[in-house]
Amino acid sequence: MRIIVFDDEKSLAHLGLGILSVMWPWIWIVFTIYEVVEFCYRWRKKRREKIGEFIGDLVEFLVGAGVAGMLLCPSSILGIAGIVVGVLG
């Protein structure tokens, strides 16, 4: 299976919603429901959304949430830096 990330014009919206979900967690629930409904609805039409595109949309959202989380909580950046330093030696 091939996961396609940042493949269309909606990709920036997914990223932006991920960023906003750090401040308003209910956005995560609404986004997930929207994506599942979109996937199921498109599945019945001619242009089927592939599972890789569906997962790619979720990854775009999670990238936005991860970046916003690291920017809003600098200690997490230091924690990640410590893990990287520990792994690299």
The 10s digit of each residue's pLDDT in 28-87 is 999 999 999 888 887 666 677 788 888 999 999 999 988 888 777 766 666 566 556 666
On whether residue 75 sits in a domain, the answer given is yes
* Residue span of the structural domain in which 56 resides: 11-88
Contacting residues for 68 by C-beta, under 8 A, at least 6 apart: 18, 19, 20, 21, 22, 23
For 62, the enclosing helix (H) or strand (E) is: helix 51-72
pTM for this structure?
Answer: 0.77
1 in any annotated domain = no
In a domain, 22, yes or no: yes
Cα angle, residue 16 at apex, residues 62 and 63 outer, rounded to 5°? 20
| Inside any domain, residue 3 | no
2 inside domain? no
Is residue 68 situated within a structural domain?
yes
How many domains, in total, are found in the chain?
Answer: 1
Give dist(CA 42, CA 27) in Å, integer.
Answer: 22
